[in-house]
Amino acid sequence: MIRKVLLVDDDAAVREAMGQTLELADYDAITAGSFVAAKDHIAPGFQGVIVSDIRMPGRDGFHLLAYAREIDPELPVILLTGEGDIPMAVKAMGQGAFDFLEKPCAAADLLAVLEKALKTRALVLENRDLKRQLERGDPAARMLFGTSAQAEELRNRVRSVAPTGAEVLVTGPAGSGISKVAEVVHLMSPAGQGPFVKRPAAGLQASEFAQICTDAAGGSVFLDEVSAMPEATQYAALELIEQGAGVRIIAGTTADLSDLAARGVFNADLFYRLDVMRVRIPSLAERPEDIPVIFRHYVAQAAEQAGIEAPEVTPDHLAALMAQDWPGNARSLMSAAMRFVLGMPEDVAQAAELGLAEQLARVERSLLIAALGRHNGKASEAAKGLKLPRKTFYDKLARYGIRPEDYRR
């Protein structure tokens, strides 16, 4: 367990005596006589706790507490208070102090509070380290952005599908990130250490498909827009998959492949082989609350690529972004972020200049679509979720030209 204690007291005699007590108890004591001397030791990953006197010249224990909480809100700070300062210490507890002790304090009391604080700190640091490890080993958390329920549902779906090793069909609107989701499925799959080969299905010849599977042996092949695969290649792909292609096939499409198969436009047997596991990506219109976090990510990415400092994204700017439909989804949001970084956010500026009625209408339309997405296109459930009478809900759908069936998974 961690044993480090930062001891801060302007009284040299008290500091030395308490330091000796800590060292005798096998603690790693760091001593400082002021706020200025102490603050250089405080960092977000500080492997210990702070014990500080409240009354010190200049910046006192309250200043140190505030500074420590700003650097790391979970860093325990134990305050030492003189006789008559108890109300002040209680106030400090309300401001986030871990505990307080009255001076002079018995060594046993000090060590008991320290043990409790250090155990708490050790648990916090252990949880943080575990979270970092999970995120490094969880491409879904690292690569699929969003805080909405739909975004979390997408990540969980990928986490459940990826380990199976079965064929996967990734669907979603244009620009929604089908290729990225396919890559995450690959990274989290048993074939994740193998090659990940991406190829557009349009124009793909049967001989090429066989060679791709050979090149990607032990890994995954992603067929982008599989609905456009030539008919002859569809038959060859079906035969190769049934024989055992030696790779994991991940197919992506913006089309309704089941409808194409039903109409004989796409090979039905191949459709069923590809549709073993399905992952559907929601549109940005279904989850407008994710737009700010995704946009900020793209802004940081674009600024890094351009070699310039990322400009500030204001609340008004984000509100204007959320008022837009984004038919191009993440791809168009990425382009908007690049224009924003380069000082050319003309689309957002135009949205911000819309009248109040038009802005409210756009927001209302986004909320209707988001509700349908959450309830799998079931209009009655979406209406109930928005606390709207069914007739009012259907009237609004008609006004905005929204079809519930477009949001069924």
Please tell me the predicted confidence (pLDDT) of residue 55: 87
**pLDDT (0 to 100) of residue 320:** 83
CB-based contacts of 349-356 (< 8 A; 24+ apart in sequence) = 349/320, 351/320, 351/321, 351/323, 351/324, 352/316, 352/317, 352/319, 352/320, 354/323
CA distances (Å), origin 377, targets 153, 237, 322: 16, 33, 21
Q: Can you tell me the distance from the alpha carbon of 329 to that of 308, in angstroms, rounded to the nearest whole number? A: 25
Provide the 3-class DSSP secondary structure of residue 100.
strand
Residue 83 has what pLDDT?
A: 66
What is the biggest distance separating any 2 CA atoms in the chain, rounded to whole angstroms?
90
CA–CA distances in Å: residue 237 to residues 182, 241, 242, 258, 278 = 18, 6, 9, 17, 19
Mean pLDDT of 64-68: 91
Looking at the predicted structure, is the pLDDT value of residue 186 above 80? yes
pLDDT confidence of residue 352: 47
Q: Mean of the pLDDT values across residues 165-192? A: 94
Do 379 and 341 touch, CB atoms closer than 8 A?
A: no
Task: Give the model's confidence band at 256: pLDDT under 50 very low, under 70 low, under 90 confident, else very high.
Answer: very high
Report residue 401's pLDDT band, with 50, 70 and 90 as the boundaries. confident
pTM of the model: 0.57
Look at residue 355 and tell me whether its pLDDT is greater than 70.
no
Q: Is the Cβ–Cβ distance between 277 and 161 less than 8 Å?
A: yes
Domains observed in the chain? 4-134 (3.40.50.2300), 140-279 (3.40.50.300), 283-351 (1.10.8.60), 354-409 (1.10.10)
Q: What angle in degrees, to the nearest 10, is found between the helix axes of 329-341 and 315-322?
A: 150
Tens of pLDDT along 100-129?
A: 888 888 899 999 999 999 988 988 887 777
What was the pLDDT predicted at 349?
Answer: 44
Sheet strands side by side (includes 77-81): 28-32, 4-8, 48-53, 77-81, 99-102
What would the mean pLDDT of 143-152 be, rounded to a whole number?
Answer: 90
Yes or no: say if 281 and 171 are a contact pair by the CB < 8 Å rule: yes
For residue 361, the model assigns a pLDDT of: 75
Name the band, by pLDDT with cuts 50, 70 and 90, for residue 346.
low
Alpha-carbon span 255 to 266, nearest angstrom = 11
Q: What tokens were used for 256? A: 């309704």
C-alpha–C-alpha distance, residues 158 and 127, integer Å: 24
